[in-house]
Amino acid sequence: MTNASTPILGIDLGTTYSLVAVLQNGAPTILPNALGARLTPSAVSIDDDGAVLIGAAALARAITHPEATALAFKRDMGTERAYSLAGRTLTPRDLSALVLRSLREDAEAALGHPFSEAVVTVPAYFGDAQRQTTRDAGAIAGLKVDRIINEPTAAALAYGLHRRERECKLAVLDLGGGTFDVTILEIIEGCIEVLASAGDARLGGEDFVDSLLAPILLELQREAGSEQPRRAIARARAACEAAKCRLSAESEVQIVVPGLELAGGRRFDLVRTIEREQAERLWRPLLERISDPIFRALRDARLRFEQLDEVLLVGGATRMPCVVELATRLFGRLPQRDLPPDEAVAMGAAVQAGLKANDASVEELIATDVAPFTLGIASSNRLGSRLVTGIFSPILERGTVIPASRVERFTTVDENQTQIVVAVYQGEHASCDRNQLLGKYTVCGIPRSPPGEEAIDIRFSYDLNGILEVETTIVSTGHRATTVIEERPGKLRPEQVKDALAALQRLKFHPRDSLPNRTALARAEARFVDLTGEERRVLGEMIASFRLALEGQEPSSIAEARERLNALTEALRQA
């Protein structure tokens, strides 16, 4: 049991931004990072001196040093992709561990005591491997992550929906940087039940940026005749990201990137005006993709739009007016947007963390969830003389409310077959080779009999943390065997966690109190790249005088020079 005096962190580990929160006096509170900001970019960069930078400074370096910087690695969680940053190889798990570690340190600095446990949110569509990798990343960051909850479920907790007295059904639409989730929830007498969840793991605010960028890249290609250097693309992309956000409040914006260094050493001044209507035409295919999972989730929940009482919008990208309009049109009601859309999930994680720590300030809640993927085994079938193998036989269907336990009976296919291989897959395809293998084991001791005579019951039990237990029973002998699927792709053994932890500790980090200085410099350098003429000269001088102040090591003059540099960088950003 966790003592209420050692609270558990609630962490939203986002594709673009991450947040950390705790429950204080019954209210979820977002904790600031070393720069005083509530949102920490999920960005990692290796600095020129080999030290690791996380957050805003790393994000700024995506412009000046794209080859040393990793962004949006949450999209690759659970895969073997290796990010090569300035000669170092880091996996999505390592990169996530670095972000989690920095959030833990921020929380510790804000509250003055250590933390060793966290509730971390993941998209509803994350599969087993991704959830397990998230847990492992937590362990490497020095945080025990017992409880992983779906982001939309966390959002509902943040809105306090579990405290509603009246029964109600609602949809949570969560459009973040890289993922889109739709969850249909039902609240009855203080319990939240997830009726269905659907989503698109490859659709988010980033895609809206890519749509703005695509015609610009074509234009650059026409200018320079071939593919552009990464640095030019990174600069153009950053300008599109800013334009997209400004378009949420303005009907027309300008994209200006002077002196883009194109292929073949050509320089190009990018100047483009874009109207909201024009952007929305570019975004139409993405908006259609938003509708698909909404229809699917409602179908799975066997509900019609008009049967829903509420619609919640969360995720930074729901600030886009076209997304609000789409939701209003589909559901025939104005969605709730009272909480900052990028903070609601972290707040909900803190509520869940409070529940877990038995904080008396939160009422008891029984939350059920649904299996995001169908789970089943590979089976074989004899068609005449041919044995067809690798058929996916579902046992626990996608959308099943969990915790759940389901059993299916299978029979032997061969004469005197004494063993079967139970290969567990997740996915939605009829053929196993298109689904993901989670684990494999052999059941022996089947009595020798003619084909089809021996029956084997296979039971899948799936719990709220995504742990799958497989139990096989040979019906004629009653012999039973139980396995927890351990061989999940990406799962680390304890000694591997230890090794990864040691590798992380070998990395060099900037001292926390130097981060505001390092970030100011990285941001100014990123701005410097964009400028020309007099503005560039003035910023260059200011950067030089800040470096001088840093060398002087006199805290008050460093702080003064930093404030001046930050003010100028910000002024030039808006220019």
Which residues contact residue 556 at a Cβ distance below 8 angstroms, ignoring those fewer than 6 apart?
A: none
The CA distance from 206 to 240, in Å, is 10
Q: Which is nearer to ligand AMP, 14 or 348 (CB)?
A: 14
Q: Find the catalytic residue in 94, 128, 174, 454.
A: 174
Q: Which is nearer to ligand AMP, 134 or 435 (CB)?
A: 134
Q: Which is nearer to ligand AMP, 105 or 206 (CB)?
A: 206
Q: Determine whether 174 is an active site residue.
A: yes
Q: Determine whether 74 is an active site residue.
A: yes
Give me the residue whose beta carbon is nearest to ligand AMP: 205
Structural contact between residues 130 and 77, judged by C-beta atoms closer than 8 angstroms = yes
Structure tokens at 343: 């903070």
Q: Find the catalytic residue in 94, 151, 186, 525.
A: 151
Q: Which is nearer to ligand AMP, 17 or 126 (CB)?
A: 17
CB of 263 to ligand AMP, least distance (A): 28
Query: Amino acid letter at 402?
Result: I
Structural contact between residues 568 and 538, judged by C-beta atoms closer than 8 angstroms = yes
The CA distance from 50 to 48, in Å, is 5
CB of 99 to ligand AMP, least distance (A): 13
The CA distance from 176 to 188, in Å, is 28
Residues at the site binding ligand AMP, with contacts judged by CB under 6 A: 14-17, 176-177, 204-206, 241, 244-245, 248, 315-317, 319-320, 342
- CA 137 centroid distance within chain: 13
Widest Cα–Cα separation across the chain:
89
The CA distance from 241 to 16, in Å, is 12
The CA distance from 120 to 210, in Å, is 28
Q: Which is nearer to ligand AMP, 123 or 439 (CB)?
A: 123
Q: Determine whether 359 is an active site residue.
A: no
Structural contact between residues 54 and 127, judged by C-beta atoms closer than 8 angstroms = no
Q: Determine whether 48 is an active site residue.
A: no
The CA distance from 60 to 41, in Å, is 10
Structural contact between residues 403 and 464, judged by C-beta atoms closer than 8 angstroms = yes
> Helix, strand or coil for residue 9?
strand
Question: 433, 502, 426: which is closest to 132 by C-alpha?
Answer: 426
Question: 187, 179, 184, 178: which is closest to 197 by C-alpha?
Answer: 184
CB of 253 to ligand AMP, least distance (A): 11
Q: Find the catalytic residue in 47, 74, 342, 356.
A: 74
Q: Which is nearer to ligand AMP, 324 or 507 (CB)?
A: 324
CB of 208 to ligand AMP, least distance (A): 7
CB of 150 to ligand AMP, least distance (A): 14
Q: Which residues are the active-site residues?
A: 12, 74, 151, 174
